Amino acid sequence: MNPVTNIPERLLRNRNFLLLWCAYGISAIGDHLTEIAILKTQNAADPSVDATPLTARMTFMFFLPFTLLGPMTGMLADRFPRRGLMIFADVARFALMLGFVALVPMMHAWGPWWASSPLLLLGVFAAVFAPARSALVPALIRPDQLTRANGMISGLGIIATMVAQLLGGWIAFRYPAGVAFVCDAVTFAISACLIFLIRVPAANTGAGTRVSVDGGGSDVGGEATTWRGVAEGFRYVLGHRRVLELIAAGCVVWFCGALVNSSIPAVVRDVYERPDYQVFSFYRALIGGGFILGSLVVITLGDAMPGDVFITWGLAAVGAGLALFGASAFMHGWPEAASRVG
């Protein structure tokens, strides 16, 4: 144990970190579990339906709150206890998913935009959950564990998304769409319970006193201070070229991921001639393979390799994967194999 903070020396023996890790993984499954069920309500497997815009709308609706609310949710994580914010976000999503169970039979008549509204609401509370989780991690671990902890968490998010796609496709293939929403609600209930069990350690100030490191209550200037902090954040980003470059690299990676993710149902159905919701989910889950490999590399190497080297090789791998995925439609005899590798 660390004598200053009583935090375990080994990351995998840290009860609080493991609780947060499991809660995030289960919550991330919930964020994506209903996607294939929503496609089913819109008959995406029917060749007469253009599946690409349907998938693109779902991705857009889920991530829109992160773009619009990001600065404000970050401020919430500074002003309120992070653990409490995460529990609130999980409980809200639990209630929303149960509420949508009764509305599933009407989704086909809603049209593609309104049918994606569950993902918009999930995105709102996921945008509250994410910065609180990120801010809580350093309070649960030692400073020298941060790189590996972030690698474990980022890898888990992708694994959870893959599990959600596979499980969601299996549920959509065998059961009515409402079952996926019930299972989704259960994931958020479990996540909230795990977060409730976390006990944030107090930090030793060096003067014989101990203070909470869960955050909250530090900003007492009201709304003016909140928006001033947002403005200062934008000024900082605009004034630091390296930060802008990192943001641009992240945008490229996620743009490519969204592009491939949106086109998968149409490619699988029309090019590979596999109009099956379970096959849709399988191919969408394959996107995470490269992310998992990258996370394992980060966890293994830690700080031994410069971050810009990781980013450079990562962007090169994204380009190669896109090339293989695009070429798979024209490679007679092994398009599916090329797509899986890409």
Closest C-alpha to 36, from 186, 157, 170, 161 = 170
**Whether the predicted pLDDT of 120 surpasses 70:** yes
pTM of the model: 0.74
CA–CA separation, 37 vs 323, rounded Å? 30
Q: Which pLDDT tens digit goes with each residue over 173-207?
A: 889 989 999 999 999 999 999 999 998 876 533 33
300 touches 289 (CB < 8 A):
no
Alpha-carbon gap, residue 214 to 136, rounded angstroms:
6
In Å, what is the CA distance from 3 to each residue of 29, 197, 333?
A: 36, 23, 62
Residue 320 structure tokens: 């190669």
Interior angle at CA 52, CA 322 and CA 261, nearest 5: 40
Given this model, what pLDDT does residue 56 score?
81
Calculate mean pLDDT across residues 276-304: 70
Burial of 12 from C-beta contacts in 10 A (0-12 / 13-18 / 19+): exposed
In the chain, what are the domain boundaries? 11-222
Residue 5 DSSP one-character state:
T
Whether the Cβ atoms of residue 266 and residue 259 lie closer than 8 Å to each other? no
pLDDT higher than threshold 90 for residue 88: yes
Q: How far is CA 82 from the centre of its chain?
A: 18
Q: Report the distance separating Cα 160 and Cα 12, nearest Å.
A: 19
Read off the pLDDT of each residue in 320-333 and give the average, rounded to a whole number: 68
Distance CA 173, CA 171 (A): 5
For the domain made up of 11-222, the CATH class stated in words is mainly alpha
Under DSSP, is residue 275 helix (H, G, I), strand (E, B) or coil? Answer: coil
Q: Which has the closest alpha carbon to 70: 130, 12, 122, 135?
A: 130
pLDDT digits (tens, 9 = 90+) for 102-112: 887 777 677 77
Measured CA to CA, the distance from residue 235 to residue 111 in angstroms comes to: 41
Structure tokens at 278: 């379970």
Look at 5-9, 136-140, 172-176 and tell me which has the smallest mean pLDDT.
5-9
